Amino acid sequence: MLIVVTGGAASGKSALAEDIACTLAQGRPMLYVAAMEPFGEEAQRRIARHRALRAGKGFTTLEHSTRFDLLRPPSGFAAALFECASTALANEMFSPAGAGGDGGSILAGVQALTARCAHTVVVTNEVFSDGYAYDAGTAAYLHALGQLNQQLARQADAVAESVCGIPVWRKGEIELA
Protein backbone atom coordinates (compact mmCIF):
# COMPACT_ATOMS: atom_id res chain seq x y z
CA MET A 1 0.00 0.00 0.00
CA LEU A 2 1.32 3.44 -0.96
CA ILE A 3 0.16 6.51 0.96
CA VAL A 4 1.12 10.08 0.04
CA VAL A 5 0.98 12.87 2.63
CA THR A 6 1.23 16.46 1.42
CA GLY A 7 0.87 19.85 3.03
CA GLY A 8 2.44 23.25 3.44
CA ALA A 9 5.40 24.14 5.62
CA ALA A 10 4.83 23.30 9.31
CA SER A 11 1.37 21.88 8.50
CA GLY A 12 1.78 18.73 10.57
CA LYS A 13 2.45 16.46 7.60
CA SER A 14 5.44 14.74 9.22
CA ALA A 15 3.50 13.88 12.36
CA LEU A 16 0.57 12.66 10.25
CA ALA A 17 2.87 10.50 8.13
CA GLU A 18 4.41 8.99 11.27
CA ASP A 19 0.95 8.27 12.69
CA ILE A 20 -0.06 6.54 9.44
CA ALA A 21 3.14 4.46 9.34
CA CYS A 22 2.78 3.46 13.01
CA THR A 23 -0.89 2.53 12.51
CA LEU A 24 -0.12 0.37 9.48
CA ALA A 25 2.97 -1.28 11.01
CA GLN A 26 1.00 -2.39 14.09
CA GLY A 27 4.04 -2.43 16.36
CA ARG A 28 6.37 -4.06 13.84
CA PRO A 29 9.67 -2.45 12.73
CA MET A 30 9.57 0.60 10.46
CA LEU A 31 12.13 2.17 8.13
CA TYR A 32 12.55 5.94 7.90
CA VAL A 33 14.28 7.12 4.71
CA ALA A 34 15.64 10.61 5.34
CA ALA A 35 16.43 12.74 2.28
CA MET A 36 17.54 15.98 3.95
CA GLU A 37 21.23 16.78 3.86
CA PRO A 38 22.45 18.48 7.06
CA PHE A 39 23.65 21.69 5.35
CA GLY A 40 23.56 24.64 7.72
CA GLU A 41 22.12 25.26 11.15
CA GLU A 42 18.47 25.37 10.05
CA ALA A 43 18.70 21.95 8.38
CA GLN A 44 20.46 20.53 11.44
CA ARG A 45 17.70 21.91 13.72
CA ARG A 46 14.98 20.40 11.51
CA ILE A 47 16.74 17.03 11.45
CA ALA A 48 17.12 17.07 15.25
CA ARG A 49 13.44 17.97 15.68
CA HIS A 50 12.32 15.16 13.37
CA ARG A 51 14.57 12.66 15.16
CA ALA A 52 13.07 13.71 18.49
CA LEU A 53 9.54 13.29 17.11
CA ARG A 54 10.38 9.75 15.91
CA ALA A 55 12.20 8.70 19.08
CA GLY A 56 10.80 5.57 20.65
CA LYS A 57 8.38 4.84 17.80
CA GLY A 58 10.30 1.92 16.31
CA PHE A 59 11.87 3.59 13.27
CA THR A 60 15.28 2.65 11.89
CA THR A 61 16.73 5.60 9.96
CA LEU A 62 18.36 5.25 6.55
CA GLU A 63 19.91 8.51 5.33
CA HIS A 64 19.80 8.69 1.54
CA SER A 65 19.96 12.14 -0.07
CA THR A 66 20.57 11.52 -3.80
CA ARG A 67 20.28 8.87 -6.50
CA PHE A 68 17.05 7.34 -5.26
CA ASP A 69 17.11 5.13 -8.33
CA LEU A 70 19.95 3.32 -6.53
CA LEU A 71 18.06 2.97 -3.24
CA ARG A 72 18.16 -0.62 -1.98
CA PRO A 73 16.14 -0.68 1.23
CA PRO A 74 16.83 -3.50 3.67
CA SER A 75 14.13 -6.10 4.23
CA GLY A 76 12.31 -6.85 7.46
CA PHE A 77 10.26 -3.67 7.82
CA ALA A 78 6.47 -3.60 7.95
CA ALA A 79 6.32 0.03 6.85
CA ALA A 80 8.59 2.64 5.32
CA LEU A 81 8.31 6.40 5.68
CA PHE A 82 10.12 8.44 3.00
CA GLU A 83 10.65 12.08 3.96
CA CYS A 84 10.45 13.79 1.72
CA ALA A 85 9.92 13.69 -2.04
CA SER A 86 10.25 17.45 -2.47
CA THR A 87 13.61 17.55 -0.68
CA ALA A 88 14.77 14.49 -2.61
CA LEU A 89 13.84 16.15 -5.90
CA ALA A 90 15.76 19.31 -4.98
CA ASN A 91 18.77 17.16 -4.11
CA GLU A 92 18.51 15.30 -7.43
CA MET A 93 18.20 18.52 -9.43
CA PHE A 94 20.73 20.75 -7.70
CA SER A 95 23.34 18.48 -6.07
CA PRO A 96 26.34 17.53 -8.22
CA ALA A 97 25.73 13.92 -7.13
CA GLY A 98 22.05 14.07 -8.14
CA ALA A 99 20.36 12.05 -10.86
CA GLY A 100 18.65 14.95 -12.61
CA GLY A 101 15.33 16.66 -12.40
CA ASP A 102 12.42 14.75 -13.86
CA GLY A 103 11.50 12.84 -10.70
CA GLY A 104 12.18 9.44 -12.24
CA SER A 105 14.85 8.68 -9.65
CA ILE A 106 12.44 9.39 -6.80
CA LEU A 107 9.73 7.24 -8.38
CA ALA A 108 12.26 4.40 -8.71
CA GLY A 109 13.16 4.77 -5.03
CA VAL A 110 9.50 4.69 -4.01
CA GLN A 111 9.04 1.58 -6.15
CA ALA A 112 11.99 -0.06 -4.36
CA LEU A 113 10.37 0.76 -1.00
CA THR A 114 6.96 -0.58 -2.00
CA ALA A 115 8.61 -3.78 -3.26
CA ARG A 116 10.22 -4.34 0.17
CA CYS A 117 7.59 -3.01 2.58
CA ALA A 118 3.89 -3.79 2.73
CA HIS A 119 3.19 -0.13 3.51
CA THR A 120 5.07 2.92 2.22
CA VAL A 121 4.26 6.48 3.28
CA VAL A 122 5.73 9.30 1.20
CA VAL A 123 5.79 12.90 2.44
CA THR A 124 5.83 15.75 -0.06
CA ASN A 125 5.20 19.49 0.01
CA GLU A 126 2.49 21.78 -1.26
CA VAL A 127 4.49 24.81 -2.46
CA PHE A 128 2.34 26.05 -5.30
CA SER A 129 0.13 28.69 -3.67
CA ASP A 130 2.20 31.85 -3.29
CA GLY A 131 1.90 33.14 -6.87
CA TYR A 132 5.33 34.76 -7.19
CA ALA A 133 7.46 34.74 -10.32
CA TYR A 134 10.63 32.69 -9.98
CA ASP A 135 13.96 32.33 -11.72
CA ALA A 136 14.28 29.56 -14.32
CA GLY A 137 15.84 27.02 -11.93
CA THR A 138 13.14 27.43 -9.29
CA ALA A 139 10.40 27.37 -11.93
CA ALA A 140 11.84 24.13 -13.33
CA TYR A 141 11.90 22.63 -9.82
CA LEU A 142 8.28 23.63 -9.15
CA HIS A 143 7.17 22.15 -12.47
CA ALA A 144 9.07 18.90 -11.80
CA LEU A 145 7.64 18.70 -8.26
CA GLY A 146 4.12 19.22 -9.56
CA GLN A 147 4.62 16.39 -12.04
CA LEU A 148 6.18 14.13 -9.39
CA ASN A 149 3.37 14.79 -6.91
CA GLN A 150 0.78 13.96 -9.58
CA GLN A 151 2.54 10.70 -10.46
CA LEU A 152 2.81 9.73 -6.79
CA ALA A 153 -0.87 10.53 -6.21
CA ARG A 154 -1.92 8.44 -9.23
CA GLN A 155 0.05 5.46 -7.93
CA ALA A 156 -1.08 5.90 -4.32
CA ASP A 157 -3.81 3.94 -2.60
CA ALA A 158 -4.47 6.95 -0.36
CA VAL A 159 -3.52 10.65 -0.40
CA ALA A 160 -3.89 12.96 2.60
CA GLU A 161 -3.30 16.68 2.84
CA SER A 162 -2.34 17.93 6.28
CA VAL A 163 -4.14 21.21 6.97
CA CYS A 164 -3.26 22.75 10.34
CA GLY A 165 -2.48 19.24 11.61
CA ILE A 166 -5.82 17.83 10.43
CA PRO A 167 -5.77 15.09 7.76
CA VAL A 168 -7.96 15.88 4.76
CA TRP A 169 -8.22 12.71 2.67
CA ARG A 170 -8.09 13.42 -1.06
CA LYS A 171 -7.98 9.78 -2.17
CA GLY A 172 -8.83 6.73 -0.07
CA GLU A 173 -8.52 6.94 3.69
CA ILE A 174 -6.56 5.30 6.50
CA GLU A 175 -8.28 4.87 9.86
CA LEU A 176 -5.73 6.16 12.36
CA ALA A 177 -5.24 4.53 15.75
pLDDT tens-digit series, residues 2-47? 999 999 988 999 999 999 999 999 999 999 999 987 677 886 787 7
Q: Are 66 and 97 in contact (CB under 8 A)?
A: yes
Look at residue 162 and tell me whether its pLDDT is greater than 90. yes
Average pLDDT over residues 111-116: 97
Q: What does the pLDDT look like over 49-93, one tens digit per residue?
A: 777 877 788 999 998 999 999 999 999 999 999 999 999 999 999
22 touches 176 (CB < 8 A): no
pLDDT number for residue 10: 86
Residue 108 banded pLDDT, cuts 50, 70, 90: very high
How far, in Å, are 17, 21, 72, 125 from residue 45 at the CA level?
A: 20, 23, 27, 19
The mean pLDDT value for 149-170 works out to 97
- Mean per-residue pLDDT for 128-138? 82
In this predicted structure, what is the pLDDT of residue 154? 98
Specify the range with the lowest mean pLDDT, choosing from 20-24, 33-37, 129-133, 152-156.
129-133
pLDDT of residue 40: 76
**What whole-number percentage of the chain has pLDDT above 90?**
72
Phi-psi region of 144 (alpha: psi -120 to 50; beta: other; left: phi over 0): alpha
Are residues 110 and 156 in contact, defined by beta-carbon separation less than 8 angstroms?
A: no
Domains of the chain: 2-171 (3.40.50.300)
